[in-house]
Amino acid sequence: MKAFAQLFLSLDETNKTNEKVKVLKDYFNTVPDTDKMHMLALFSGRRPKRQINSTLVRNWAIEASHIPAWLFEESYHVVGDLAETMALLMPQSNASSSKTLTEWIAEINALNDKTEEQKKEWLMESWAMLDSQERFVFNKLLTGSFRVGVSQNLVIKALADISGLEPAVLTHRVMGSWLPETYQFSQLMEEQDAAANISRPYPFFLAYPIQETSEKQKTPAEVGIALGDAADWQAEWKWDGIRAQMIKRGAEIFIWSRGEDLATEKFPELHPFLNALPDGTVIDGEILSFQNGLPMPFNVLQTRIGRKNLSKKILEESPVAVIAYDCLEYKDEDIRYKSQAERREILEQLQAETAYPEIFRISALISFETWEQLGSIREQSRAMIAEGIMLKRKSATYQVGRKRGDWWKWKIDPLSVDAVMIYAQKGHGRRADLYTDYTFAVWDGDKLVPFAKAYSGLTDAEINKVDYFIKRNTIEKFGPVRTVKPELVFEIGFEGINKSTRHKSGIALRFPRILRWRHDKPKEEADTLESLKALLGE
Amino acid sequence: MAKKPLLEFTDRGIYCAQGKFYIDPWKPVDDAVITHAHADHAYWGHRHYLAHYLSREVLLYRLGEINLQTVEYGETVLKNGVSISLYPAGHVIGSAQIRVEYKGEVWVVSGDYKVENDGISTPFEPVKCHHFISECTFGMPVYQWKPQVQTFNEINSWWRNNIDNGLATVIVGYSLGKAQRILQNLDLFNGKVYTHGVIENTNEALRRNGVILNPTERITQESLKEEVRKGIIIAPPSSVGTPWMRKFQPYSFGYCSGWMAIRGAKRRRAADRGFVLSDHADWDGLISAIDATGCECVYLTHGYTATFSRYLNEIGFNAREVHTLYGGEEEDPSNLPEGKASSTGDPEKKVLPLGEDLGGVS
């Protein structure tokens, strides 16, 4: 654990990528192989199962800190991180544990069949055994929010440097479901991949935005200059659903979402077509809800994903289908090296053979001759229930991660509305103790009705100014939320708008974010609920 | 009829009606008693100033020609029958708590303070009183300082490491207080100490005041980058990210502040290293200081006043929040990083040289 705690500390002590990679390499070179795999699991979002619920951990931490519960809560809002709050509040300790990360995780996992009393005893003893920095990472292990400020790419780079293997190969090998208890470091490092698991997905290829910021719109002519001959590109609609990779191997099927969650059971409608695919097939596409052959807005799908159990009603109300747009494996062969055009041909052939064309759909190619023409087709995106257009170079291979060059997303301009900030809440992580999470309202007669929350879009300097305003213009405090004097006006951008029965305003926005601070607008000139509802387009 | 309190909180500052003077007023008044020379406590525009003699040169440097009377710690000044005396606050060189007594009733205004002896400011001395007016910049239990020797060991070994790796070392702290505290605790066997002009101006003011500081060299156009790289550069927060700082590249940049105790705050600063070093009392320091006064009532002027007063009341103190302008923008950690935020109003800007950080807190 010492080494792992030190790893955290050292990563925090530098902002430079090269140094972070060096720190990671030093860690890999000093700890036992089992620790390496546990670290890799944690840094790629595979945290151990939570064995003590966080309310209990919190309560016992309050007990160990000898402070009232309300003061613990206030401290949490200042720190913005539960594990860190607990570590800071406990009495200082000079103890230190020589147990390895692997041993600690094994102990945590062994709590599974223990009574609450036994768990508490174990936890109190463990805290007493650790110094502050060790407590912090230990609390992270327990409470499970393992954001480390180091991308998986950096960890992969460190491993690649050590092993001489290609980063893309390693990225692939750490995809999917594996357990640090059984996946061996030596397997990960093998020259030839022998440990391949039939469920393992490929790393997703992600498109780069053509418009880097919403302020600067690119004209078709500019797109043309950047991308060259229109004939080298294929265009499709950019669908607004769940990106997924669907696997049929060894008579089994697997559906992976982009967050590397195994979601096979969430989409039973897709099972028949997947089972009917030839063995050794992997398809990349978008899962969407459909009604009468037309895609439905994302929020329909969203309510469905949120449910634990898929009731009959839900399956009837928001049945899903796939819009497939790529094929990564065919006849047991990894075909990512083939060109976009070749893979497309294979995909079309697979789709033509399916007995479920309503479920296994294909993303239609948009035919266009010039960029200007495509630019005007893009204007119809909203009517197509699409977010814009995807551009893929016909000669492109299927690459790993977000790469510039061959896949581009050309999104439509967001919808926007001017709104007044009325509530604020402190953020987390690097925004701890700063008011960064805002609720916005529009006018309904002479009342301000909240309709959206947004967290992003302002620069650090603007956040500081808004924070300063909030701290001096608070009307009321409700726990962590402050009611703020309605005064500041912001332009809020969003991708879509839908009716909602769950919100007071009667509407729900998709991806609301702050486009800019309207210093020039008094609050009276903010938009109205009526004008927002007009965007519902009914 | 209820007796009028000896000190009141007004929209100009803390006021003593009986003695007709203000303590750390933020609007121009006739008679001002100043706890210390930081900009949020020592404003421009008063007709008469009273402060500790070690604040003299810094006040004159920051505020220009002012009518200033200075005293020693423990010395008593009478104003309309009210006796005023200054006691060490341990915050920065020359910082004082103001003790005010009239007919046996004693009030103490802490200004800003810390209880740890930093080896350069006269150490904090608890003063018995009936009413204590306290800051609580770090009045949350998550703020607990380690002894400064530990932090300086970290700083000195970081500096050595940078020299070994061919990196320049830039350490950032406020120009009055933090900068000298750093200076006096650096391991000079490592190399020379260079200063940003704003910090050197403050150092010179202190030296004029008879304070003995370790040798420093002001960075100028003529400074040789290769030489500077072997030493350490003390710079104010306002220099972070400026072309002035970039010319020392490649460098490692460390930030010294109490806010560095929180990981998120540290990450927001984007410093290479955050060193937890504050000139304010931590949680335990505040409670022990308040307890030592034996006061009947404690008034909290700035910092986490709501939380801290609630807690004090729960553990048996009689505490209340009062509204003042101390801490200015800098009371909020959010406003620290750029160090450019100036809440101190226009008068300051007329007097201070361009690029001066108006800094007080942290």
Looking at the partner chain, which of B270, B314, B341 has a beta carbon nearest the beta carbon of A15?
B270
Q: Under CATH, what is the fold of the domain A2-143?
A: DNA ligase i, domain 1 (1.10.3260)
Helix H, strand E, coil C: the string for A142-197 is: HHCCCCCCCCHHHHHHHHHHHHCCCHHHHHHHCCCCCCCCCCCHHHHHCCCCCCCC
Confidence (pLDDT) at A30: 94
Residues B152 and B194 placed together within one structural domain of the fold: yes
Residues B226 and B212 placed together within one structural domain of the fold: yes
User: Is B315 at the interface with chain A, CB within 8 A?
Assistant: no
Is residue A281's pLDDT more than 90? yes
* Range of lowest pLDDT (A269-273, A301-305, B321-325, B340-344): B340-344
Contact assignment for B267 to A429 by CB distance below 8 Å? yes
Q: Is A500 helix (H, G, I), strand (E, B) or coil?
A: coil
Helix H, strand E, coil C: the string for A311-340 is: CHHHHHHCCEEEEEEEEEEECCEECCCCCH
Count of domains for chain B: 2
Pick the CATH number of A415-534 from 3.40.50.2300, 1.10.3720.10, 2.40.50.140, 2.60.40.420: 2.40.50.140
* Range of lowest pLDDT (A213-217, A254-258, A321-325, A420-424): A213-217
Is residue A261's pLDDT more than 50? yes
% of chain A exceeding 90 in pLDDT: 53
CA dist., res. B179 & res. B181, Å (int): 5
Confidence (pLDDT) at B275: 94
Contact assignment for B144 to A92 by CB distance below 8 Å? yes
Q: Nearest CA of chain B to the CA of A434: how many Å?
A: 6
pLDDT band at residue A242 using 50, 70 and 90 as cut-offs: very high
Q: Nearest CA of chain A to the CA of B105: how many Å?
A: 34
Residue range B97-134, pLDDT digits in tens: 999 999 999 999 999 999 999 999 999 999 999 999 99
Residues A330-358, mean pLDDT to the nearest whole number: 96
B356 is a domain residue: no
Residues B192 and B246 placed together within one structural domain of the fold: yes
B353 is a domain residue: no
* Range of lowest pLDDT (A31-35, A90-94, A279-283, A448-452): A90-94
Is residue B254's pLDDT more than 80? yes
Same fold, A2-143 and A205-411: no
Is residue B345's pLDDT more than 50? no
Name every residue whose Cβ is closer than 8 Å to that of residue A161 and which is 6 or more positions away in sequence.
A21, A25
Confidence (pLDDT) at B329: 34
CA angle A64/A69/A74 to nearest 5° reads: 110
Q: Is A132 helix (H, G, I), strand (E, B) or coil?
A: helix
Q: Domain extents for chain A?
A: 2-143, 205-411, 415-534
Nearest Cα residue in chain A from B328: A468
Residues B269 and B315 placed together within one structural domain of the fold: no
pLDDT band at residue A194 using 50, 70 and 90 as cut-offs: low
Which of chain A's residues have a Cβ under 8 Å away from the Cβ of B338?
A: 461, 464
Residues A4-24, mean pLDDT to the nearest whole number: 88
Q: Give the end of a domain, one of B214, B244, B275.
A: B275
Q: Nearest CA of chain A to the CA of B252: how many Å?
A: 9
Q: Which domain holds residue B179?
A: 148-275
Provide the whole-model pTM.
0.80
Q: Are A272 and A324 within 8 A, CB to CB? A: no
Structure-block tokens of residue A477: 């405090």
Residues A167-176, mean pLDDT to the nearest whole number: 87
Residues B330-336, mean pLDDT to the nearest whole number: 37
pLDDT band at residue A326 using 50, 70 and 90 as cut-offs: very high
Confidence (pLDDT) at B2: 61
% of chain B exceeding 70 in pLDDT: 90
Q: Nearest CA of chain B to the CA of A527: how many Å?
A: 30
* Range of lowest pLDDT (A180-189, A274-283, B97-106): A180-189
Confidence (pLDDT) at A314: 84
* Range of lowest pLDDT (A123-137, A476-490, B9-23, B301-315): A476-490
pLDDT band at residue A15 using 50, 70 and 90 as cut-offs: confident
Residue range A136-166, pLDDT digits in tens: 999 999 987 676 778 888 999 999 999 999 8
CATH of the domain at B81: 3.60.15.10
Structure-block tokens of residue B237: 């927060």
CATH of the domain at B230: 3.40.50
Is the peptide bond prior to B250 cis by the omega test (within 30 degrees of 0)?
Answer: yes
Residue range A372-393, pLDDT digits in tens: 999 999 999 888 888 899 999 9
Confidence (pLDDT) at A196: 67
Number of Cβ within a 10 Å radius of residue A263: 18
Which of chain A's residues have a Cβ under 8 Å away from the Cβ of B330?
A: none
Confidence (pLDDT) at B264: 84
Confidence (pLDDT) at B241: 82
Residue range B2-30, pLDDT digits in tens: 678 999 999 999 999 999 999 999 999 99
Confidence (pLDDT) at B355: 30
Is residue A278's pLDDT more than 80? yes
- Torsion angle defined by CA atoms of residues A387, A391, A392 and A394, in that order, rounded to the nearest 10 degrees: 140
Q: Are A440 and A493 within 8 A, CB to CB? A: no
Residues B100 and B197 placed together within one structural domain of the fold: no
* Range of lowest pLDDT (B39-48, B176-185, B270-279, B291-300): B270-279
Considering chain A, what is the average pLDDT of its residues?
89
Q: Is A436 helix (H, G, I), strand (E, B) or coil?
A: strand
Is residue B359's pLDDT more than 50? no
User: What are residue A154's phi and psi, to 5 degrees?
Assistant: -70, -40
Class of domain A205-411: alpha beta
pLDDT band at residue A212 using 50, 70 and 90 as cut-offs: low
Nearest Cα residue in chain B from A13: B273
Nearest Cα residue in chain B from A20: B272
Confidence (pLDDT) at B352: 30
pLDDT band at residue B32 using 50, 70 and 90 as cut-offs: very high
CA-CA distances (angstroms) from residue A22 to A14, A40, A162? Answer: 11, 16, 10
Q: Is A111 helix (H, G, I), strand (E, B) or coil?
A: helix
Confidence (pLDDT) at A537: 65
Confidence (pLDDT) at B327: 74
CA dist., res. A217 & res. A355, Å (int): 43
Burial class (CB in 10 A: 0-12, 13-18, 19+), A454: buried
Residues A230-259, mean pLDDT to the nearest whole number: 93
Number of Cβ within a 10 Å radius of residue A439: 19
Q: How far is CA A51 from the centre of its chain?
A: 24
The beta-strand segments (E) located in A460-502 are 474-478, 481-484, 489-494, 496-499
Which of chain A's residues have a Cβ under 8 Å away from the Cβ of B329?
A: 468
Which of chain B's residues have a Cβ under 8 Å away from the Cβ of A13?
A: 272-273
Q: Give the end of a domain, one of B247, B275, B303.
A: B275
Looking at the partner chain, which of B142, B267, B334 has a beta carbon nearest the beta carbon of A88?
B142
Residue range A491-506, pLDDT digits in tens: 998 888 888 887 888 8
Residues B90 and B115 placed together within one structural domain of the fold: yes
Confidence (pLDDT) at A308: 75
As a whole number of Å, the end-to-end CA separation of chain A is 59
Q: Are B32 and B49 within 8 A, CB to CB? A: yes
Which of chain B's residues have a Cβ under 8 Å away from the Cβ of A433?
A: 262, 264-265, 333-334
Residues B239 and B270 placed together within one structural domain of the fold: yes
Residues A269-275, mean pLDDT to the nearest whole number: 95
Return the sign of the alpha-carbon dihedral for residues A457, A461, A464, A469.
negative
Contact assignment for B272 to A464 by CB distance below 8 Å? no
Residues A89-110, mean pLDDT to the nearest whole number: 90
Contact assignment for B307 to A433 by CB distance below 8 Å? no
Is residue A255's pLDDT more than 70? yes
Is residue B356's pLDDT more than 60? no
Is residue B358's pLDDT more than 60? no
Confidence (pLDDT) at A215: 55
**Mutation target among A434, A477, A482 for the B interface, most CBs of B within 10 A:** A434
Residues A87-113, mean pLDDT to the nearest whole number: 90
